[in-house]
Amino acid sequence: MRTQIADAARVLHGRRIAFLTGAGISTESGIPAYRGEGSTPRRAPMTVQDFLASDTARRRYWVGGHLGWRSFGSAEPNAGHRAIAALERAGVTGGVVTQNVDGLHLRAGSSRVVELHGTMRGVTCLRCGQAYDRGAIAEQIDARNPWITVPENVVLRPDGDVAPESTDGFVLPTCTVCEGMLKPDVVFFGEFVPSDRFRVVEALIASCDALLVAGSSLVVNSGIRVIERARRRGLPLVIVNLEPTRADVWADATVAGRTGDVLPALQELLA
């Protein structure tokens, strides 16, 4: 792996780097991935179509999401997050595009972060547009459902969800302004990344000279779109991931390893 890291450093040396990160960078903080090492047993993810169409689906989401959010919020940035933040302070990186909704890059100290798939920190009313902090909605859920307790041995799933045993009797949170339907500020499966957000991604890529992918299998199309924008500009591409990815064939260098090991090593060589 040392040779791979040295090769990656040679590709990136003297360049302003844009980062694209995925679930693999957060598995070392205790947040599981959908696939690959550190993933949880597969379960059908919530789709936006199901969420909008069914009270039953919304109850399942909010019970699981509420319990998971309690555990999700205790996760801390790891060495990979901190290395990226340090490279920003050193002027080596132009910013981070992350597919994660955990907010760990911001908590690690990165300031130029585009949360491609949204964030668990916010909730919005789909009727009137009122915005809420997730903590305020958690308080409402607790008040309406005082019987809810965090079960022992919670199995946390990607995006801060758990598998609830039952949703019987659960009272959904609603907008305090218009009593409309609430939705977390995350991009569900079947939902598109907002166009204005992707324009920010394109501007970030345009301001950099190289792209480093860290901890993403690039199975989700939004990640491939970022790769395509970098390729159109002819940017060198480095990929750090435990398993092969969809974009390895285009990479100038690949490193098969944990982001928590590889990124601090690259930080030392580049900063």
Cα separation, 180 vs 153, in Å, equals 34
CA distances from 60 to 56, 82, 88, 150, 161 (A): 6, 34, 39, 15, 10
CA distances from 160 to 23, 132, 210 (A): 12, 18, 31
Cα separation, 199 vs 222, in Å, equals 13
Structural tokens at position 50? 């199901």
CA atoms within 13 A on the CB side of 24: 27
| Catalytic-labelled residue, pool 66, 81, 105, 117 | 117
Is 66 labeled as catalytic in the residue annotation? no
Residues with catalytic roles: 117
